[in-house]
Structure 1
Amino acid sequence: MAILEACVTNLGKYNEGVLAYERVTFPTDAETVQAALKKIGVDGIRYEEIFIADYDGSMPQLYEHLGEYESIDELNHLACVLSELDEDELAKFEAVMDSGEYTGSTKDLINLAQNLDSYNFYPDIHSEEDLGRMYIQELEAVQVPEHLIDYIDYEAYGRDVRINESGHFAPGGYVVGDNSFTEHYHGIEDIPDEQRVFSMPKLPIREQMAAYQEMAGRAAPPAERPAPRVDREDR
């Protein structure tokens, strides 16, 4: 299953009571997007606006943070960035998302995917006791004489560690940031040209003329009816 799939919907037709949509899998290309728009009737003349009615994909947490009016280009860029991550990096990405950091917008999510080196992720750590044991026994954060090792309150120590470093237990494990997060992506202008895929369908001249004629017909005021004749009495 693809990481991200969006149900692209014609907003104008939706407001008219007609549901016209097409599912687009990301990453994608300009030709696929144009074909989808044409199929749902978005031609840049009669209908110009879209919204995302639904998301799907292999990472449910991801599309929980995406809205109805996301930029197609940003969605594609996000999917391109995620497609370059390996399985371990994707697991880390999901864990940080679960913590709620950098999930407020597609821009945030793109920056998060580009800053995974700013986080440490421990997939086998699911409790404060696990965390305490890891820090003492594996990372040797505290030197404990061997004869006292069985008397350590690992849970209490792990709780202190989590609080002090603002760590988070996600379904996939424990994640903590190192405060080196850097914003690399500032907006659509930073998207590589080859990943910008949104444009209106290129209609043949005949279809363009028909569309403009239809629009003109909609905009024309209704024909005036002649005023009813009133017979006046002779004076």
Structure 2
Amino acid sequence: MRIVAILKNNEHPEYGEVSIPLPIKTTEYGRSMDLLSSLGIGDALRKDCQVAEFTRAYPTLRCLEGCKVNIDELDYLAKRLDGFDAVEITQFQAMADKLKLTDMKDLINLTFSCQQATVIADFSDLESVGRAQYMNTHGGCASAEELDNLDGEETAILLIEDNEGTITRYGVVYDNGMQLSQLYDGKNLPCYHHENDCISVGLTSRLEPRDTKNITWVYLPTSNCQIERAMKRAGITDPGDLSLRMGDSLFPVEIDVALDFQCEDIYALNELAKAVDKLSNDDRMKLGVVVGTARPENANQICRLAENLDLFEFAPGAHTPAEYGKFMIQQSGYFNYDPALDEFYDYERYGRQHMDSGTGMFTDRGYIAYIGTESLEELMGENQEQMQGVMDMQ
């Protein structure tokens, strides 16, 4: 569910108000920040956005109306709630009501722990209540055998008789000993994937120790605006003071291996993520093979390869000249293949001829060939004297 917040500058109400849908989509982020900036609010660190009202929100969030909030914290909370199912939303709202939470830090931390609570809105189905209670107190999962052997009704009765529930607007809630999470320290928002990003990158100061928990996460591809705000949130004013670390990645593994985060530039990584994000799953696999054979040394070089994938022919699964020839004739689209004439095709002969006239090599994923006219060094925008491990073109 997208929340709609009406925000204003409490110091200058004459500036008017803006309506911001939350979570803020990556494609809308820059425009949203511009709207807030026009009112003199939306700072990356300060709580300067006053919530005039929510025109669409979960009832629990009404407690924030009239309060000043930080837009990135509010957006993060909205992202967390957007990933919840109906049961989790009920758990969140009931526990927030029970604990009377109104602080943004506490509300964010509650999203990481509310799943331990049990909320009973219907006492007529104690079997379901008991199953839910068992799941909530066992990390949210249970085997089919465990559930088959569970007396759900008895479990529910024990819960009701042995524990003191709290009546809320969302049902009777039992916290099951839940302790409010402290994952969010008020500054560094925990890593959380909301949209289908390619990679998460942690930003820290080079002065921080390697095991620091002071990490600000950005999710690529994104806008330069978000990167700049993340740097500000991390307290980094000098780009030379920026240290990167790799988080979760959906890049082909060959790219992950090739990247050296101690040397990479965050903006180059963002351009690479934009290039990879446009590729189909098949082309991402092809890019992985290209990277594994061309051995690029940084994100800029990999990005150039991603942008020029059409200069590479790839036959997935081909490990012999015959398999390569069969792929080229049947699947490459270069020929009008006729299955009725299959026995007359000499796949191995064609495969060898094509290999002799081109430049390529077999890999564990198939045959890859470079068909460009310039050298790989020139293609990747580098003027190196040599590249170790480049395809054996001889």
Fold match (TM-score > 0.5)? yes
Matched letter for residue 323 of structure 2: D
Q: Distance in 2 between matches of 1:56 and 1:121?
A: 27
Q: Distance in 1 between matches of 2:248 and 2:372?
A: 32
2:270 match: 76
CA distances 1:66-125 after superposition (whole Å, capped 9, x unpaired) = 1122111111111112222233332321221122x1512222112111211111112242
Q: Distance in 1 between matches of 2:347 and 2:280?
A: 36
2:81 match: none
Q: Distance in 2 between matches of 1:160 and 1:136?
A: 13
Within 5 A, what are the aligned runs for 1:103-182? 103-134=296-327, 154=348, 162=355, 165-181=358-374
Within 5 A, what are the aligned runs for 1:57-72? 57-59=249-251, 60-67=253-260, 68-72=262-266
Within 5 A, what are the aligned runs for 1:82-97? 82-97=276-291
- The partner residue of 1:6 within 182, 201, 222 is 201
When the two chains are superposed, the root-mean-square deviation of aligned CA atoms in Å is: 3.7
Q: Distance in 2 between matches of 1:136 and 1:53?
A: 44
Q: Any conservation in 2 of the 1:121–1:173 contact (CA below 8 Å)?
A: yes
Q: Count matched residues.
A: 175
**Deviating more after overlay: 75-84 vs 127-136:** 127-136
| Structure 1 pair 134–89 and aligned structure 2 pair: CA distance change class (3 A) | closer
Which structure has more relative contact order (CA 8 Å, sep 6+)? It is: 1
CA distances 1:172-202 after superposition (whole Å, capped 9, x unpaired) = 4321111335857759xxxxxxxxxxxxxxx
2:248 match: 56
The offset of 1:36, in angstroms, is 2.3
| Structure 1 pair 13–159 and aligned structure 2 pair: CA distance change class (3 A) | same
Q: Distance in 1 between matches of 2:310 and 2:247?
A: 28
Q: Any conservation in 2 of the 1:111–1:185 contact (CA below 8 Å)?
A: yes
Q: Any conservation in 2 of the 1:78–1:109 contact (CA below 8 Å)?
A: yes
Is 1:35 matched up with 2:229?
yes
Q: Any conservation in 2 of the 1:93–1:116 contact (CA below 8 Å)?
A: yes
- Percentage identity across paired residues of the two chains: 22
| Structure 1 pair 128–22 and aligned structure 2 pair: CA distance change class (3 A) | farther
Scaled by the length of structure 2, the TM-score of the pair is 0.37
